[in-house]
Amino acid sequence: MSDRSQSSVSRVDYYDRLGQARPLRVDERALVTKMVKDTPYQDEITGLLGDILVRDMPDGGMGSIKFQTTTRKPRYGRQIAEGAFRDRDGMPVSVTLSLDKKGQLFELDVFRADGSPLISYPELDDFEIVKRHGKLGWAG
């Protein structure tokens, strides 16, 4: 077997490493709802949150999730909202919400500044929406 075919056989597909599909948790739903509040996406996205399924991303426990869509391997489209908070130990955490190329929810990406696992999602009062260029997140 050639090196090329062997590497493609042994390579694990990223989507195969995602967790099992599950409903949004209450804290995840609240965070997404706050992120899309007062945006053009508010009505559409909040209407989906009760039924949508997500999969935990293999991010070392930081809490990122991928939204399950009808597209087998969705591709990143664009970021629509951004926020930040401090984890219970004071570590800064960045959160972004993005759509895929077809305009469907793609990811809620959570990143602790030190790369370690998230301790907990924030209380909503402690979660700040980031505005760039006078707009929420990167939404255009």
By residue count, the chain amounts to: 140
pLDDT at 138 over 70: no
- Report the predicted TM-score, pTM, of the whole model to 2 decimal places: 0.81
Residue-level pLDDT at 35: 95
Residue-level pLDDT at 2: 44
Q: Span 64-79, mean pLDDT? A: 88
5 inside domain: no
88 inside domain: yes
The mean pLDDT of the chain is: 84
Least-confidence region, from 8-12, 31-35, 96-100, 119-123 = 8-12
pLDDT in tens, 15-45: 566 778 999 999 999 999 999 998 899 999 9
3 inside domain: no
Find the radius of gyration of the CA atoms of the chain: 16
Neighbours of 24 (CB within 10 A): 21
What is the percentage of the chain residues whose pLDDT exceeds 70?
81
Residue-level pLDDT at 61: 75
- What is the count of structural domains for the chain? 1
16 inside domain: yes
Handedness of CA 33, 39, 45, 46 (dihedral sign): positive
Tell me which residue range forms the domain holding 119. 12-136
